[in-house]
Amino acid sequence: MYKILLVDDEEWVVQSLKHSIDWEEYGFQVIGEVHSADEALAFIDTHQPHLVITDIKMPGMSGLELIKRVVSKELPVQFVVASGHAEFVYAQKALQYGAIGYCLKPFEENEIKDYLKKARLHIESKSKSDHLELIDLILGQSVPDHGKVKELLRAEGVDCDKNELAVIQVIGNFLMPSESKIPYCSLKTGPSKRVCLMNQSDFMSFMEKVKSVPNVSVGYATHMKLHEIKEAIHAANISAFHFFVTGKKDCYCVSAASTDLKRYLGHVATAMEKKDLKFIDATFHELSLCFESGAYTIKDAYFVYYQIMYYASDRLAMHVDVEIDHFEQLSSIYMNVHVMLAELRRQIIQQVISLAQVSDVEIEHETVRHIVKYVKENFYNDINLSQISKLFFVTPNYVSHIFKREMGVNFTEYISKLRIDYAGGLLNSSTLTIQQVSEKSGFNDYFYFTKIFKRITGITPSEYRKKTRAD
């Protein structure tokens, strides 16, 4: 149990606080109750509690002065200050002096409990010392000093000579209950990231504790030998980020996928080269289905991201400003791999459309502006006025009226012009048949396509192809 000291010049405040919280539930035990800062300072010197909850204003030395003196002695003590509304400025000063928080009187139980969790996280990380030397030995050297690693692990109760090892990577705030007797070595490898090394025999017991903690993601590798630890940590880290693929934080142990992603990425590259919007849609859908299987990892997603960015720059002359240099960054930018793919698809579609020189205009009416944006990104699909009205929560008649007023043409004429402009680009740059161009431009009827094409351009699709290629 971690030790806690309660300090207030009023006895009833101390007793009220002492009996209102189940301290042991959070791994703490009240070891002292004093009624002045002078008594508190003497108690801290002798007993060194882990946490002190103190009043700010007391006769004699104030709570602020108490904090300053303890901090000056560099004692490993944390403070939470209690104050009334009129003492808020003092509470802010206490935070500047190093207090982890303040509570207003009368106390709120949940507020105290939150500070207990915060204090324990800090204590736990310090008590495990984060093993910077061990991190450097394992991860910072091409050939780890296994003898030194073994020595440091043995000091934590992890015996590499007699046991295989288990490696668990935890992302999120996890603390082993203070009463737990499971020996393990904890390495802090990043913000809210911790690698735990233990004897294989303790793996299941440890995992039971981890699984009970909400909002953490876990990756693990088991039955490891000492010389395999470095690779095992990397593998566990990739597995811990598997929530980026599945969309769910859980416990994972994933291995390399058996199917080659390069084949699917080749389809994406071809679709971009042909500037075929329907084909681009299909290839991104294909990639999304690959990741739905759960066989691929966040590292694969990182590979896909970079390949698509390269293709977009090479095939579409798209300006690419990539600042992601490690797969872990994907999880802080995108919610999951499907959101990532959807955003990449959106950017590529916009670039293809811009290359087709589809004109844009300044539109004052907000609803029309959003409708035009949606239509320009989806004109090659089967969309109509009724569908648009449902998407934007307006009636078809209202859409028709405001669209004609803002754009100068009705909705049908506008989408036909987008489709024909795009079809013209395909006729000029591809070997697709006119029937295929018709379908890829959003027309389901070949004869209707040729009729609209001639009405807008003045010539038939086949005449247009001959003319543009002759020029």
Architecture of the domain whose range is 2-127: 3-Layer(aba) Sandwich (3.40)
Strands 251-252, 28-34: pairing is unpaired
Q: Which two tokens stand for residue 76?
A: 């490993």
**3-state SS, residue 3:** strand
Phi, psi of 285 (to 5 degrees): -65, -40
- How big is the chain by its Cα radius of gyration, in Å? 32
User: Cα 49 vs. chain centroid, distance in angstroms?
Assistant: 37
**pLDDT values of the chain reduced to their tens digit, one per residue, 471 residues:** 789 999 999 898 889 888 888 888 888 899 999 999 999 999 999 888 999 999 988 888 888 899 988 888 878 899 998 877 656 677 777 887 888 888 887 788 888 888 888 888 777 665 554 577 788 778 876 677 788 888 888 888 898 888 899 999 999 877 665 556 788 888 888 777 889 999 999 999 999 888 888 888 999 999 999 889 989 999 999 999 999 999 999 999 998 665 678 889 999 999 998 888 889 999 999 999 999 988 899 999 999 999 998 888 888 888 776 667 788 889 988 899 999 999 899 888 878 877 765 445 567 788 888 898 888 888 888 888 888 888 888 888 888 888 888 887 888 888 888 889 888 888 888 888 888 889 888 888 888 888 889 888 888 898 888 877 776
- Which residues, including other chains, have CB under 8 Å from residue 445's CB and lie 6 or more apart? 438
Q: Are 74 and 107 in contact (CB under 8 A)?
A: no
Long-range contacts of the stretch 60-65 (C-beta < 8 A, 24+): 60/36, 61/36, 61/37, 62/37, 62/90, 63/7, 63/37, 63/90, 63/94, 64/90, 64/93, 64/94, 64/97, 65/37
Number of neighbours of residue 470 by Cβ within 10 angstroms: 6
Cβ(92)–Cβ(113) below 8 Å = no
Q: Using an 8 Å Cβ cutoff, are 363 and 406 in contact?
A: yes
CB 53 within 8 A of CB 82: yes
Structure tokens at 140: 């910072």
Say if residues 446 and 437 touch (Cβ distance below 8 Å): no
Q: Which two tokens stand for residue 442?
A: 């959003």
pTM beyond 0.85: no
CATH number for the region 366-470 comes to 1.10.10.60
Other Cβ atoms less than 10 A from the Cβ of 137: the count is 20
Q: Using CA atoms, how far apart are residues 73 and 51, in angstroms rounded to an integer?
A: 15
Residues 7 and 52 sit within 8 Å (Cβ to Cβ): yes
Cα torsion angle, 225, 231, 234, 235, sign: negative
Residues composing the chain: 471
Q: Is 104:83 a contact under the CB 8 Å cutoff?
A: yes
The CA-atom distances, in angstroms, between 425 and each of 279, 416, 418, 419, 469 are 15, 14, 11, 10, 11
Please tell me the distance from the alpha carbon of residue 415 to that of residue 181, in angstroms, as a whole number: 69
Are the C-beta atoms of 153 and 185 separated by less than 8 Å?
yes
E strand or H helix at 114: helix 109-127
Pairing mode of beta strands 2-7, 28-34: parallel
The pLDDT of residue 358 is: 44
List the structure tokens of 144: 């780890």
Cα–Cα nearest to 136, from 121, 152, 160: 152
Phi, psi angles (nearest 5°) of residue 96: -65, -35
End-to-end CA distance of the chain: 85
Domain ranges of the chain: 2-127, 132-252, 261-342, 366-470
For 132-252, give the CATH class. Answer: alpha beta
∠ at Cα 371 (369, 373), nearest 5°? 70
pLDDT of residue 356: 60
> In whole angstroms, what is the distance from residue 104 CA to residue 88 CA?
8
Token pair, residue 33, equals 């109750």
H and E: helices and strands count for the chain = 22, 10
| Alpha-carbon distances, residue 90 vs 62, 85, 104 (angstroms) | 10, 10, 12
Query: What are the DSSP calls for 176-244, one per residue?
Result: --TT----EEEEEEETTEEEEEEEGGGHHHHHHHHHTSTT-EEEEEEEE-GGGHHHHHHHHHHHHTTHH
